[in-house]
A and B are shown apart, each in its own frame.
Chain A
Amino acid sequence: MRSVEFHVLLALASEERHGYAILQEVAALTGGEVRLEPGTLYRALHRMLKDGWVAESARRPAADLDDERRRYYRLTPAGRRVAAAEAARLQRLVAVARANRLLSRA
């Protein structure tokens, strides 16, 4: 999995978001380290839509928060599993890194 895709999945893990919100969430989650551009985001989104990891959301947020022209995206169960698997893989890698003293214990 590419890091763009994982970041998007993470951003969508907590709640449904529209495209620009995903960009902001990814930036927030990574402490501003990863700043995606819309073109990159949507290419990844398009792929994940086709693969069935994310889907367009039918539900809308409360009216006062909604921007009606927006499209919202959510994780599908498949997407959640893929993200979990990737997280587990990374965790194992982190464990290995720790065991080899590449990382100090948090």
Chain B
Amino acid sequence: MRDRRLAWWLVRLYPPRFRRDVGLALVDALEDQMGARRASGASSLGARLPAIADTVGNAFAAWIDSAGSGAAKPPRPKGRTVLDKLLQDVRYALRLWRRRPGFALVAIATLALGIGANTAMFTIVHAVLLRPLPYDHADRLASVWGRTPTYPRGLLSYREYRELRNKPGTFEAVGLYFPQSVNLTGADEPQRLVGSFVTGSFFDTLGLNAERGRLFTEAESAPGTVKPIVVITHQTWQRRFNGDDGAIGTTLTLNGTPVTIVGVMAPPFDPRVVPDAGYFIGADLFLPAALFPAPRGLEAAGPVMLGIARLAPAVAIARANADLDVIRRRLLADDPQPQADRTLVAEAAQETVAGASRPALLLLFAAVGVVLLIACVNVSQLLLARAVDREREIALRAALGASRATVARQLTVEAALLAFASAAAGLLVGRGALASLAWLRPPSTVPIPVDMPLNAAVLLFSGGVAVLVSLLCALVPALRTARPNLARVLQAGFRRASAGGRRTRDVFMVVEMALSVALVAVSALLIESLLAVQRAPLGFDPSNVLTLEFRLPPTKYPKPDDIARFFRAAIERVRAVPGVESAALVRAVPFSNNGGTIGYAIEGRPSVDAASLPQARLHLVTPDYFRTMRIQLLRGRDFTDRDDLQSPLVAVINETFARREFPGQDPIGRRLTTPQTPTPITIVGIVSDAKHYQPTEPAAPQLYAAHYQVPLIFCSLVARTRGPAMSVANDVRKAIWSVDRDQPVWGVLALEDIVARRQGQWRFLALLLGIFAGVALLLAGVGIYGVTAYGVAQQTHEIGIRLALGASGERVLREVVGRGARLTLAGAAVGGVAAIALARLASAMLVGVRPTDPAALAAAVLTLTAVSLAACYIPARRASRVDPVVALAEE
């Protein structure tokens, strides 16, 4: 009896008509079948399951059958399954495409453009911002900084590191590292490698392993143990030793000291597929922290290393920071002086790596999103126009018995095909876009990995976007067409321009215009910023200047005298190179990101404690630096060769320094004291201001000291050349090797290129946003043209009547353009608001211009107005020339 109840229940799934006709009989048959199965030994489930599966599937099919046969009871298409019907729909859609290839091509190309741009941006955003760092427990990795007001991401001292290691509840592992150039000698040409001085715990923290040999331990890297060992990276092993196992145990001469290779580090990830070459391990080799070249040893060196930690499970950054504050207080109680304004802070490692990229990437992502929206509106517009054209066809099909479901299915299949085609094309466009992005020399804030294999996330994103977009595009037309008003559509002389359709088209137009105004305005802001950056006076002339860097090994040049002697000889040889006009040394080339500050006090003024001394940027330069860089000497004198270790200390200050400290006085001859120098420094000259880190930085007090009086092992050379800077690069390198054939040099670059790289972010963003804005304008223009032309075409009859009744062509033209102008006004108004929202995303990248800059907004509105009026004018002109006879004869 229970079988019968189930059978009744199952039959209820069928459409009413079916139940009325054969429902009872089906119940009987089901009951019989289940009974027979039981009789042949099937379990209760075994008897019922086939019945359930069978009826559920067929009930569904019966509904489709009944939907297919409307009230008119058309002849049932014989022998068709659901799949057959879908295939038929696909064939039909393809036939429509073939019949109107232009339509299909434009729609797919437009969407592919939008989807492709989004795919490319998403690939980068995913690789940089979303994907976890390629380490185990990447979500628990954190940078630990010693933060001061001037350096929010400052270094840690070894003492602080020891305290952190005593907090196992907070930090599961903590490591120190500090990448620094090391000189490799003993090979054919002296070479500069990037070494990272690390504690043994550094390897544990990141979960690094040895591929050959071993890594070194915490004990081997602790200060006091001088173990001359080194771990090389996989790449170094391949490059220098061709992957030979014999590398282990061999000796390298690094910074003049022989060290033994104990192991090869296994690469934790493929460096080509991560956008930033490194992620904390960007070095050629790893040396024990104990070998760090600090004069009085690592323990006494103060904060000189970078910290990386792995938090204990379930410890949030906030809690880590609270614990760090406790540690800081304890350290402060022990020894208040150097800790005065220092705090210890943890920051998620992902943020350390990608934080700087976020604003630029999000801005670009938003921009491509806007382009995609505009593309959607355009395609939607196209589909709608075509759907209205097809209203007759569809109404006819409905009248012949096609149900609403059938029509909707047909339209859905068309949309799905569109989605598929544009997703495929979009993926291709995206790959191409990525390649061309790399070619546009992106700045470091938009890191683009060398190699970007398609991954599931990207495919999912593009597919999702394509489906969403096609639905969006197809939805409005499908909703309109699937419900045609048969009587109205089939009326003789039906004019298809309904008020509803016009409203939809107006909204489309306004949205499109608003979006492009926003994008054009933001790209105008970025262009203004770029111009501001390029216009900003540098204070020096970067053209025809060759720069290179080197580092003297302290073992070979232990005394300041030795260093100074090398410098003098090198400069002399470089000056003798044909094509070199003048040459000088400087500790840090402008825009190289290196540099430092010094606290100073003016002699004769009330003294303050060391912590609150005013700071000036410190540059160490040799004579002729100002002439070589074309920094103007305003008063006094340049350094000379006689300003050496034996003579009293002298300095040259910049204008800003002079203005700040000696307003209305003559600074020449005044003396400064600094904590770093044993005797006072006499000011001997004043030079004009020169930028050092950013083209847009505010002027800062600068103090130039004589390099021969304060010789440092790290040094750069600048040489002004007669021709292109790079043409003498080889000769200059050889000139240095003629002084010391073991001295590696690197960073051989034209100063112009270094400066251009600094402007790169703005150039890149302005260029890219300019392209996006151009595409947006083009799409909007085409869209506006299409809408207007379509409206005019539909009103041909009406316009014909009016012209026949005596309206002038000019008046018709005025009306059509006037209508476009009104919509443009609305679009501009909405776009202004959207622009301000989008500009807020860009605010971090704006220089010398506010997000609400009226000039940029005005430029955007004017550009759009021009495009939109031009786009309206062409169809309007056509309207004004309608021949009433032809228009009326169309009936």
A50: which B residues are within 8 A, CB to CB?
21, 69, 76
The answer on a CB contact under 8 Å between B32 and A20 is: yes
Check if A45 is an interface residue, CB within 8 A of chain B: yes
| B29, A43: Cβ atoms closer than 8 Å | no
CB distance from A34 to the nearest CB of B (A): 14
- Provide the residues of chain A in CB contact with B65, threshold 8 Å: 43, 47
Residues of B within 8 A of A23 (CB): 29, 33
- Say which residue of A20, A40, A46, A69 sits within 8 Å of B22 (CB atoms): A46
In the complex, are the beta carbons of A39 and B57 less than 8 A apart? Answer: yes
* A1 on interface, CB distance cutoff 8 Å: yes
Once A47-B76, A49-B22, A71-B25 are accepted as A-B contacts, the answer to whether A40 and B58 lie under 8 Å apart by CB is yes
Known: A43-B58, A43-B65, A46-B62. A38 touches B79 (CB 8 A): no
Q: Any chain A CB within 8 A of the CB of B706? A: no
Q: Classify chain B's interface size.
A: 20 to 34
Smallest Cβ-Cβ distance to A22: which chain B residue? B29
Q: A73 to B873, alpha carbons, bound, how many Å?
A: 72
Q: Which residues between 68 and 106 of chain A lie within 8 Å of chain B, taking CB atoms? A: 69-71
Residues of B within 8 A of A43 (CB): 18, 58, 61-62, 65
Of the candidates B28, B32, B59, B79, the one whose C-beta lies within 8 Å of that of A39 is: B59
Question: Contact: A39 with B25, CB < 8 Å?
Answer: no
Which residue on A lies nearest to B56, using beta carbons?
A39
Is there an interface contact between A37 and B54, defined as CB atoms closer than 8 Å? yes
- Chain A's closest residue to B61 (CB) is A43
B339 nearest CB across to chain A (Å): 82
Contacts of A1 in B (CB 8 A): 78-79
Knowing A47-B76, A51-B76 are in contact, say whether A38-B22 is a contact too (CB < 8 A).
no
Given known pairs A38-B51, A39-B51, A39-B54, the reply for A49 and B33 (CB within 8 Å) is no
A46 neighbours in B (Cβ, 8 Å): 18, 21-22, 62
Are B33 and A38 in contact, with the CB atoms below 8 A? yes
- CB-CB under 8 A from A38, the residues of chain B are 26, 29-30, 32-33, 51, 54-55
Report the minimal beta-carbon distance from B854 to chain A, rounded to whole angstroms.
70
Whether, in the assembled complex, B50 has its beta carbon less than 8 Å from a beta carbon of chain A, the answer is yes
A37-B54, A38-B51, A49-B22 known; A19 and B59 CB under 8 Å?
no
Chain B residue nearest to A3 in the complex (CB): B79
Q: Does A69 contact B28, Cβ atoms closer than 8 Å?
A: yes
> In the complex where A1-B79, A38-B51, A43-B58 touch, is A19 in contact with B29 (Cβ < 8 A)?
yes
Most buried by B among A18, A23, A41: A41
- Inside 8 A of B400's CB, which chain A residues have their CB? none
Interface residues of B in 35-65 (CB under 8 A from A): 50-51, 54-59, 61-62, 65
> Given contacts A46-B18, A47-B65, is CB(A20)–CB(B76) below 8 Å?
no
A49 to B62, CA, bound (A): 14
CB of B807 within 8 Å of the partner chain: no
* A48 → B minimal CB distance (Å): 10
* Residue with the greatest number of chain B CB neighbours at <10 A, chosen from A38, A45, A49: A38
The proximity string for A residues 59-75 relative to B, scoring 1 for CB distances below 8 Å and 0 otherwise, is: 00000000001110000
Residues of A within 8 A of B771 (CB): none
Q: CA–CA, A2 to B24, complex, Å? A: 24
B residues 279-328 near A (Cβ < 8 Å) are none
Could you tell me the distance in whole angstroms from the C-beta of A70 to the nearest C-beta in chain B?
7
**A40 and B14 alpha carbons, distance in the complex (Å):** 12
Are A19 and B26 in touch, CB under 8 angstroms? yes
Cβ-defined contact, A39 with B76, below 8 A: no
Alpha-carbon distance A18/B50, docked complex (angstroms): 20
Which residues from A are CB-within-8-Å of B76?
47, 50-51
B28-A18 in contact (CB<8A): yes
B18 to chain A, nearest CB (A): 5
Count A-side interface residues using an 8 Å CB cutoff.
22
CA A51 – CA B65 in complex, angstroms? 13
- Nearest chain A CB to B424's CB is how many angstroms away? 35
CB distance from B497 to the nearest CB of A (A): 42
Contact B29 A20 (CB under 8 A): yes
- Across the two chains, which residue of chain A brings its CB closest to B73? A50
CA distance A41 to B28 in the complex (A): 12
Hey, which chain A residues are within 8 Å of B25, CB to CB?
A: 18-19, 42, 45, 70-71
A11-54 vs B: 1/0 string, CB under 8 Å?
Answer: 00000001110010000000000000111111101110111000
Given the contacts A46-B18, A46-B22, A49-B21, A41 and B79 also touching, CB distance less than 8 Å? no
B163 → chain A closest CB, angstroms: 75
Known: A37-B51, A49-B21. A42 touches B79 (CB 8 A): no
Known: A2-B79, A43-B65, A51-B76. A70 touches B28 (CB 8 A): yes
In the complex, what distance in Å separates the CA atom of A19 from the CA atom of B520?
72
Closest chain B residue, CB of each to CB of A41? B29
Rounded to whole angstroms, the CA-CA distance of A51 and B79 in the bound complex is 13
Provide the bound-state CA to CA distance between A84 and B666, in Å. 121
Q: How far is the CA of A42 from the CA of B62 in the complex (A)?
A: 10
- B38 CB, min distance to chain A CBs, angstroms: 14
Bound: A40/B25 CA distance, A: 13
Q: How far is the CA of A6 from the CA of B838 in the complex (A)?
A: 66
Quick one: CB contact mask for B64-108 with A, threshold 8 Å, 1 for yes? Answer: 010001000000101100000000000000000000000000000
CA distance A39 to B12 in the complex (A): 12
**Chain A residues within an 8 Å CB radius of B30:** 38-39
Minimum C-beta distance from B531 to chain A (A): 73
Q: Which residues of A contact B61 (CB under 8 A)?
A: 43
Q: Within the assembled complex, what's the spacing in Å between the Cα atoms of A37 and B32?
A: 11
Residues of A within 8 A of B57 (CB): 39
* Per-residue interface assignment for chain B, residues 509 to 538, with 1 indicating a CB less than 8 Å from any chain A CB and 0 otherwise: 000000000000000000000000000000
Q: Which residues of B contact A51 (CB under 8 A)?
A: 76
Residues of A within 8 A of B50 (CB): 37
Q: Given A38-B51, A39-B59, A43-B61, A71 and B32 touching (CB < 8 A)? A: no
Min C-beta distance of B52 to chain A, whole Å = 9
Chain B hits for A47, CB < 8 A: 65, 76
Task: For B36, give the chain A residue with the smallest CB separation.
Answer: A20
- Bound Cα distance from A80 to B54, whole angstroms: 28
Complex CA distance for A53 and B346, rounded to whole angstroms: 81
List chain A residues, Cβ under 8 A from B58.
39-40, 42-43
The answer on a CB contact under 8 Å between A45 and B22 is yes
CA distance in complex: A69, B61 (Å)? 27
Closest B residue to A38 by CB, please name it: B29
Hey, which chain A residues are within 8 Å of B21, CB to CB?
A: 46, 49-50
Asked if A42 contacts B26 (CB within 8 A), the reply is yes
Q: Which residues of A contact B59 (CB under 8 A)?
A: 39
In the bound assembly, the distance between CA atoms of A45 and B55 in angstroms comes to 14
State the CA gap A40–B55 with chains docked (Å): 7
Which residues on A sit within 8 Å (CB–CB) of B28? 18-20, 69-71
Whether the pair A71, B24 counts as a contact (CB closer than 8 A) is yes
What distance in Å separates the Cβ of B143 from its nearest Cβ neighbour in chain A?
65
Assembled-state Cα–Cα distance A41/B62 (Å): 12
The CA of A38 and the CA of B28, in the complex, are separated in Å by 9
Docked Cα-Cα span, A23 to B799, in Å, equals: 69
Assess the A40–B33 pair: CB atoms within 8 A: no
Q: How far apart sit A92 and B26, CA to CA, in the bound complex (Å)?
A: 35
Q: Mark B428-440, 1 if CB is under 8 A from A, else 0.
A: 0000000000000
Note all chain A residues with C-beta closer than 8 A to B62.
Answer: 43, 46
**Which residue of chain B has the shortest Cβ distance to A71 in the bound complex?**
B25
Whole-angstrom CA separation of A37 from B29 in the bound complex:
9
Most-contacted residue by chain B among A19, A23, A51, A71 (CB, 10 A): A19
How far in angstroms is the closest Cβ of chain B from A82? 10
For this complex, 17 residue pairs linking A to B, each with C-beta atoms less than 8 Å apart, are A18-B25, A19-B32, A23-B33, A37-B33, A37-B51, A37-B55, A38-B30, A38-B32, A39-B55, A40-B54, A40-B58, A42-B22, A42-B58, A45-B22, A46-B21, A49-B22, A51-B76
Q: A40-B54, A45-B22 are in contact. List 16 more A-B contacts (CB 8 A).
A: A20-B28, A23-B29, A37-B33, A37-B50, A37-B55, A38-B30, A38-B54, A39-B26, A43-B18, A43-B61, A46-B18, A49-B21, A50-B69, A50-B76, A71-B22, A71-B24
Q: Would you list the 5 A-B pairs with minimal beta carbon distance, nearest first?
A: A37-B54, A19-B29, A39-B58, A39-B55, A20-B32
